[in-house]
């Protein structure tokens, strides 16, 4: 089954013409989830999240949180990759973006930690080529 995601980018410069572009991305596998990361008073340790991803299968990554959070891959102490998210500032990558794949190794789990007083919700949207 083919899965489709559309991404819209818009640039608005005051006094100039706005520009917007839309990309349609397709793949045969997806992982869409929202993770609640407890604030440090509830859980002072990194939240471990089961997620398996072969980096060569990645077609799209959209990662955003409603508060500051650190996301580490595979190990909380010796992570392969670390993403530091500011509130409502997404990390966006897609095949063909001209940027390097954000993962340097296959992912077996994630570790998430926040210093926010309240819980933080992390939204993960992934497209993969599950047959690669």
* Domain assignment present for 12: no
pTM over 0.85: yes
Q: How many residues does the chain have?
A: 132
CB atoms within 10 A of CB 9: 10
Q: Which residues contact 84 (CB under 8 A, 6 or more apart)?
A: 68, 70
Domain that holds residue 82: 29-128
CA distance 126 to 109: 14
Name the domain count of the chain.
Answer: 1
* Domain assignment present for 72: yes
CATH label of the domain that carries residue 98: 2.60.120
pLDDT digits (tens, 9 = 90+) for 27-79: 999 999 999 999 887 766 789 999 999 999 999 999 999 999 999 999 999 99
* Domain assignment present for 95: yes
Q: How confident is the model at residue 10 (pLDDT cuts 50, 70, 90)?
A: confident
The average pLDDT across 92-116 equals: 95
Neighbour-count burial for 71-90, b at 16+ CB within 10 Å, e otherwise: bbbbebeebebebebeeeee
* Domain assignment present for 7: no
């Amino acid at each position: 089954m083919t899965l489709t995601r559309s991404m819209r980018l818009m640039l608005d410069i005051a006094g100039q013409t706005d520009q917007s572009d839309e990309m349609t991305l397709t793949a045969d596998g997806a992982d869409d989830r929202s993770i609640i990361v407890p604030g440090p008073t509830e859980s002072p340790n990194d939240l471990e999240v089961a997620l398996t991803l072969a980096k060569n299968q990645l077609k799209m990554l959209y990662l955003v949180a409603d508060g500051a959070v650190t996301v580490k891959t595979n190990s909380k102490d010796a992570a392969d990759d670390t993403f530091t998210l500011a509130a409502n500032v997404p990390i966006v990558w897609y095949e063909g973006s001209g940027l390097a794949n954000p993962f340097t190794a296959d992912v077996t789990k994630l570790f998430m930690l926040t210093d926010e007083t309240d819980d933080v919700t992390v939204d993960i949207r992934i497209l993969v080529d599950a047959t690669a």
